[in-house]
Structure 1
């Protein structure tokens, strides 16, 4: 049984004061982690505040939005996975479409980051997407699994069990236009079938696959009802505590 997993991605938003207000508002309003696991992916400058809160509020996990593939060195401006682990970070998001688009991240680079995160005993959330152009040409199925295959090169079966795959069609991110439940299920099913090809049914059925792209409190229940969807990655809707609380408590809506 895969535990539902909801990760709010704050991206490059919120001030320190707003972060503190958010955390104060969600305190005591999150579901039991046995029912729904919740996390916030925050900017690295807020990791200290977030991890300290998560140690007290055990219903919430801390996620980083990115990291480098080396633990230390002359890499000005990069974030060390070893330092994140030392702070108590649980998850690291890797390969988000915005990282690929704006910062030129490649599948090879993401694979190196996945290995670095696992080596530091954190869990990678490996993001993959598709373009609207690919969907229009009915060629999206080959495209969406490629980043998954490339990101998992050299990853053992034991480590594969720990990972999370995030499916985020780029045309749905921040646009207010979410994919339909059937479209989401189709892509997530294909990702799971790919994982079965790589690791076998038993391991593939343990790996959580989450969807991101204009997720909100109104559509979360439909998305979560899909067989191969194990969670969601809300972006804009995770910036407001009230909306985030509604999303993570979708089972009670």
Structure 2
């Protein structure tokens, strides 16, 4: 059975003093779901002993070398990370990452023993012109490497137009895309029916229960709401109750 996953992405937020929020989160949660916090690389090494998983937000496709400012998957694993986000829309947009680059980073994550959370999603223009499923197909085919399994890969569907905007797709729209992703994974991978598929994009306490009731939604990738235990804990609770 697929484990439910509540994953938080702190993005470029957080200093060491802010790690107290994780201690508070650890005290509050007693839910039977997996919890993951993807932190800035500067904070990962300070999180030993917490009762949930810690992940990175990106990695380089190379194991080492002349890549100033980058971090390898092996480095993340070495300081205690178990997961890494690849292909987040902000990386695709701000750093012009292609599907091929995302696939290479995901392969590197697998080789380092990390679980890759591979992000896909359409823009508002693509949603409006009816090409959402075609975009999803192309990103799944190009971003998910052949070495992906249900044990080392999670897919995160994040409609770009919903990230940090307060806009949320209807449950029918989420259901359509998640069912489509599931079908494509099942057709390509022997264990495709077992991959986790997260929803991300303006998830909050008020809408979490409705989102988690959608078929094939096995959790969430949460941005801003993961920074504060008071905001993240109700989302975890809603996932546990789903």
TM-score (norm 1): 0.91
Matched, 1:179 2:169: yes
Return the offset for 1:28. Answer: 2.4
CA distance in 2, matches of 1:42, 1:94: 13
> 3-state DSSP class of the match of 1:98?
helix
2:37 maps to: 40
Contact 2:104 2:145 in 1 (8 A): no
> 3-state DSSP class of the match of 1:213?
coil
Return the offset for 1:160. Answer: 4.8
Q: Deviations over 1:52-98 (max 9, x none)?
A: 1xxx232x100100000111111100011111111121110000000
Matched, 1:170 2:182: no
TM-score (norm 2): 0.95
Return the offset for 1:244. Answer: 1.0
Return the offset for 1:27. Answer: 2.0
CA distance in 2, matches of 1:204, 1:197: 7
Return the offset for 1:155. Answer: 2.0
CA distance in 2, matches of 1:205, 1:198: 10
Aligned length, in residue pairs: 241
Runs of 4+ in 1 over 6 A off after TM superposition: none
1:246 maps to: 234
Return the offset for 1:252. Answer: 5.2
> 3-state DSSP class of the match of 1:38?
strand
Among residues 83, 105, 127, which one is paired with 1:135 in the alignment?
A: 127
- The two structures, once aligned, show a CA RMSD in angstroms of 1.5
Gaps (5+ residues) in structure 1?
A: none
Return the offset for 1:161. Answer: 4.2
Superposition pairs for residues 1-253 of structure 1, below 5 Å? 1-18=1-18, 20-32=19-31, 35-50=32-47, 52=48, 56-58=49-51, 60-155=52-147, 159-200=149-190, 203-250=191-238, 251=240
CA distance in 2, matches of 1:93, 1:252: 26
Contact 2:150 2:194 in 1 (8 A): no
Gaps (5+ residues) in structure 2?
A: none
